[in-house]
Chain A
């Protein structure tokens, strides 16, 4: 039984990978200029922050949680950093403060979920509005924060090139690699799988489950801050309203699409990369084809629905999920 589920779970990632490959081949054949190296770089670059956020989300989802604050942290901590820089605070201090803000939000999330035992869905949903509201009310009075000229020294984070490759792509590669190392080779990383697979069993066998849960949310918050600074420096501004946008669904889409089941315990960074690339290929192709905005939304939503249905088929509700309930 377990063997069958496992082989099917792999096959979802395969299906997505094959879809991505099929689209890739089709676009290469039918869309002039799609296969050019410049376009492929801009394809990956366009989804690199999405992919980075996906890595953060994956670490949480594998542990059978979900982090709906990830986009709020991404937008608001980076916006506060820019705002502090605008007020004349030195860039390193501004970045440190922004990072500490992200870190403390992650810590609060973790404590709420691990110790106060609020379901992750509600804790992080509430925190997302709180983070947006609090930062807008107390820290960043403006809706859009622009990067001051004094921040020119960090413009390379989102707008630079190394060996001709845009830095956001390199950051995506680096964070994906670190996430892979964490999940695959460290003890806390392995425990994330154990907790996601069976929380009670992990606790009974002596795993420090609460600490690990806190660690997951701290990690996803830190990753969100990095993604936020990449965006902020790439477009020389941060629009705090991104916090209320549909970006959070795109992040979940990347994770679920790649084959990381929402019921936890399965999948890895490879799934995030596959999901991100599929979205990237799709967005890039639709842009080249000049597909109308509303139709693009329809196509994207249909793919999300298909991915969730597929997830339900290949990771069916069994005795265990029925007992634990969905997230």
Chain B
């Protein structure tokens, strides 16, 4: 090989290296990026919770607010404060104001169903969070209630099998709510496969710890060999836990909730044996992703029909670790 050849090869290699170096320095533009930011900026998201001030809604709102601030969107919260009437009014006026996305937390399956349909007919994307209505809108993000009911029932059965009385009580919140009917279905799905389990009571504590306390202490009096309690909401089930503690009996209590710090504290204390939680912060993230999705989809409102079930988080003595739960009081700071 002559000197000239060598120089050519050397030059070629240099040129290649140079090109590569050049490409690395410049990067490659993502043509969809500008579109993403431009498309989302200035959009309005309206949120109608059952009420603000509870761990769930505060958690979702804070995660949605972060994304809205980051992307230059507007988040508007209309707090009906546990009144389905006030919520219906809020949605009615929002239909006139035409936000781009309406995030709704239904108090029950019926109250808002027609309004949500009207909202989508008028072009507003409707996302339902955790508590759905009878109307299937663009997106449902939230707990898989039937799955949670099945998980809770199974957890109780694991502890109340052979060698125990097999007697179990179910403590519902309010049977007319979307969450309760789902959880009850899940519980039934599992119990029908286990004839050894005796459902000795199926009562509702109206989400109230005091009522839960009275109910469970009566049920324990009636069934001193009660083995387990399936509770439907951790905040209410604190009353059941107190009744069990007062009885001094080793009764298993499985509950479900938003995985707030109080759940971890009470599992650590032994008040709850297990909580099957839906992670509120992750649900907020799902909400954010679905807000961005419906806005980018180009589909008219009411066409998408997607469901995003939240994965279950199991909180028990075995899974307990710092940071497993999130803290509502931290959000307030």
Contacts and interface: CB of A to CB of B under 8 A. Distances in A.
B265 to A, nearest CB: 8
A241 interface: yes
B249 to A, nearest CB: 12
Given A288-B218, A293-B175, A245 B208 contact: yes
A215 B254 CA distance: 46
A141 interface: yes
Interface string A228-245: 000100111101011011
Interface string B51-77: 101110000000000000000000000
Contacts of B235: 144, 237, 239
Q: Is the interface of A mostly helix, strand, loop or mixed?
A: helix
Interface residues of A, number: 39
A235 B210 contact: yes
Contact of A293 (B174, B209, B218): B174
Of B53, B220, B265, most buried by chain A (CB within 10 Å of CB) is: B53
B328 interface: yes
Contact of B218 (A42, A136, A245): A42
A290 B223 CA distance: 13
Interface string B198-214: 00111110111110111
B82 A234 contact: no
Contacts of B172: 293
B262 interface: yes
Given A33-B222, A293-B175, A235 B238 contact: yes
Interface in A273-327: 283-284, 287-288, 290, 292-294
A235 B214 contact: no
B208 A136 contact: no
Q: Is the interface of B mostly helix, strand, loop or mixed?
A: helix
Interface in B109-146: none
Contacts of A42: 214, 217-218, 220-221
A290 B214 contact: no
A40 to B, nearest CB: 9
B221 A142 contact: no
Given A36-B221, A39-B218, A39-B222, A144 B54 contact: yes
A235 B265 CA distance: 14
A85 B206 CA distance: 27
A50 to B, nearest CB: 9
B246 interface: yes
Contact of B242 (A136, A159, A284): A159
B103 to A, nearest CB: 19
Given A159-B246, A235-B209, A242-B208, A141 B218 contact: no
Contacts of B265: 146
A81 interface: no
Interface in B172-203: 172, 174-176, 200-203
Contacts of B82: 241, 244
A142 B332 CA distance: 9
B71 to A, nearest CB: 27
Nearest to A87: B329
Contact of B53 (A39, A142, A236): A142
Contact of B203 (A45, A143, A166, A290): A290
Given A141-B332, A235-B213, A239-B235, 13 more contacts: A33-B221, A42-B214, A43-B218, A46-B214, A142-B332, A143-B54, A159-B245, A166-B246, A234-B213, A236-B242, A239-B209, A241-B207, A245-B208
**4 cross-chain pairs, A with B, having the tightest CB-CB distances, nearest first:** A46-B214, A293-B204, A235-B209, A39-B221
26 contacts: A32-B222, A42-B214, A42-B217, A42-B220, A45-B217, A86-B329, A142-B329, A143-B53, A143-B54, A144-B55, A144-B262, A146-B262, A146-B265, A159-B245, A161-B246, A234-B210, A234-B213, A235-B238, A236-B241, A237-B238, A239-B208, A287-B218, A287-B219, A288-B218, A292-B175, A293-B172
